[in-house]
Chains A and B, each alone.
Chain A
Amino acid sequence: MLVRSAALVPVEPAAPDEVLTLRGAGFGYGDGPVLSDVDLSIRRGEIVAIVGPNGSGKSTLMKGVLGLNERVAGSVTLFGIDSGEFNDRARLGYVPQRHTLSASVRATAEEIVATGRLPRIGWLGRLRATDRQLVARSLDVVGLADRAATEVSTLSGGQQRRVLIARALAGQPDVLIMDEPTAGVDAASQHVLADVLDRLVERDVTMVIVTHELGALERLLTRIVVVDAGRIRFDGTPQEYARARARVHHDHDSHHHDLELDGHHPSLAHGPFDVAHPDRSRP
């Protein structure tokens, strides 16, 4: 039933450099799984993109790892510990997809980034000088050191995205999990954002990037995982992915994906993995 690529990374017992391992995992929101039979293992130092069209289940997969939805089957292991017993959630640096930061009250970039330190300082701990330093350094890494005291609602969309990356970095995570970091960001900011991610790669930050288009990110990646229709359809290196994609383009297959996926995004993951679909012959 499950269409797997030959390049699927074999699932091995927990290794010391293991970041997260999913075995036969299924996730959903109560009314049945959105995503099922997920076998995935990510190690330290990898830069993995999880790609797929909207509604494919890639966000469900990410939220499942973060413990934000229900796991209905299988197991999730984080840093070698079963996710049910895993308490040190600050090791997962979550960068949510936000087009704008909450604008209900005013807050500076520094104040937002400082919230990233909270899981590290216990229930009543106060932010000390070292915490403030980490906040300043995080802002520096994303190129916003000069905007620390700026009110976030006056920042551009791309800058707000970088504030959220800095917030995750401030928690000194072992892996950054980013949801659509480049979506809806203008060209100039996308360029700066790519530079920021470059800088993180130089610092050996393990990254899991959920995205519906690879675009400028592709050159950073060590691995690409394609999710579609609630399953993992491909898992391999960018080179293997490029080969698989080249195969598709010979096929002149008509796709039945979201409109936004058609035509304009040559880097999009779709095609060869759709051959198993029964409704292909429909008009």
Chain B
Amino acid sequence: MMDLLSVDFMQRALVAALLVGTVAPMVGIFLVQRRLSLIGDGMGHVALAGVAIGLVTGAAPVLTALVAAVIAAVVIELLRTKGRTNGDVALAVIFYGGIAGGVVIISKSPSGTPANLMKYLFGSILTTQRTDLYVFAGLALLVAVTTWALRPRLFAVANDEEYARAVGLPVLPLNIVLAVLTATTVVVAMRVVGLLLISALMIVPNAASQLVARSFSGALRWAIAFGLVSSVGGVALSYPLNTPSGGTIVLLAVALFIVTAVVTGVLARIGRRRHEVAETHAHEHGVECGHPAVNHGDHVDYVHDGHLHAAHEGHYDEHGVHPDHPTSAEQADPVQPAGTATGPTKGSRP
């Protein structure tokens, strides 16, 4: 590893991987939430046209790619809101227009070789310059801070757009901000993972995180962790294996997803076998249900006829007998009249 870090371009590549691995899943979770998982892919296509324009005109390709992707992002979002008919087709027109334009324009550039195109399509850490790295770091920081600051609002809009509009949240501006964040992430990541694979790093870590997380904030943290492991691990592995960094990163992310799916699947199966389901009752336990609530580790149990019932998905789990509340008769339970208490008291009350 020390050997790896001593190589100058590897240092730069690892820093770039660190940035991309953090930012891509952060933005990606909102795309997953809005069911727009493939939009990053399309923006990559448009960014390619921007790169081509940069190469032909002699401007910085990163800058022209950023401009092209941001314009596309805003247009797409406006089309989605205003265009009542077939936004899907409009997206396809923009996306394929972008990649076709990119290929044609790049052929006119002085350095218009296929190799030149490849390095943007699939990423090329070897050619990442120090100045590029500063630009990427700046952009990544901007994306990370904006996403973090707007996180609750982006969540609210993606969760229920109609409600957000009804209560007066700025829905369209927030959607445009998310689209611009996506476009910027695409450009930041294009030199590391490449424009064709960029969407994978936004989506696959989130797919894995959804398997383990139990809350949105938890899912976001897991996704960043998976993203960092894939991107830094992928770059580190690509050097000794002599493989392209972008493909290695994405393969690692996919492998992490598969391992997570298998592990959580097995654990869920074991868990199902182990836990005991209480008898079914139409009654729903709650604060005012009349059954005494007791804290039990990380959750609340309700004492129902001397048995502890814990809510679990659509049913109640049996969490054993409660010694202080042997029967409902002693509790003057309003829901279960005293006469209906069945079976002997198991509690060992003095």
Contacts and interface: CB of A to CB of B under 8 A. Distances in A.
B314 A118 contact: no
A89, A105, A127: residue with the most chain B Cβ atoms closer than 10 Å = A105
Nearest to B215: A108
Given A111-B215, A127-B152, A188-B283, A104 B35 contact: yes
A215 interface: no
17 contacts: A68-B162, A68-B166, A87-B168, A88-B168, A105-B206, A106-B219, A115-B156, A115-B160, A118-B167, A119-B168, A124-B149, A143-B286, A146-B293, A146-B299, A147-B311, A154-B313, A188-B284
6 closest cross-chain pairs (CB), A and B = A89-B168, A115-B156, A143-B286, A94-B166, A188-B282, A146-B300
Of B170, B214, B219, the most chain A CB neighbours within 10 A belong to B214
A104 B32 contact: yes
B219 A105 contact: yes
A167 B162 CA distance: 14
Given A147-B311, A149-B215, 19 more contacts: A67-B166, A68-B162, A89-B168, A94-B163, A94-B167, A102-B158, A105-B210, A106-B213, A106-B218, A107-B159, A115-B159, A127-B152, A143-B287, A151-B215, A158-B284, A159-B284, A167-B163, A192-B284, A192-B286
Interface string B192-209: 000000000000001000
Given A104-B35, A106-B214, A111-B215, A171 B293 contact: no
Contacts of A149: 214-215
B169 A119 contact: yes
A34 B6 CA distance: 71
The number of chain A residues touching the other chain, given as a range, is: 35 or more
Contact of B33 (A88, A102, A159): A102
A112 interface: yes
Interface residues of B, number: 46
A146 B155 contact: no
A102 B313 contact: no
Given A105-B29, A108-B216, A151-B215, A90 B168 contact: yes
Interface string B301-344: 00000000001111000000000000000000000000000000
Interface in B50-94: none
B216 A105 contact: yes
Contacts of B168: 87-90, 119
B279 interface: no
A102 B284 CA distance: 23
**Interface centre among B166, B213, B215, B293, by most A CB within 10 Å?**
B166
Nearest to A120: B167
A112 to B, nearest CB: 7
A106 B149 CA distance: 20
B221 interface: no
Contacts of B312: 154
B166 A115 contact: no
A96 interface: yes
Nearest to B220: A105
Contacts of A188: 282-284
A115 B163 CA distance: 10
Contact of B284 (A104, A115, A140, A189): A189
Contacts of B163: 94, 96, 115, 167
B108 interface: no
Contacts of B165: 67-68
Contact of A92 (B152, B158, B167, B286): B167
By CB atoms of chain A within 10 A, which of B153, B159, B162, B311 has the most?
B159
Given A92-B167, A94-B166, A149-B215, A105 B287 contact: no
A111 B155 contact: yes
Interface in B150-194: 150, 152-153, 155-156, 158-160, 162-170
B243 interface: no
Contact of B167 (A101, A112, A119, A150): A119
Given A108-B214, A143-B287, A146-B300, A118 B153 contact: yes
A73 interface: no
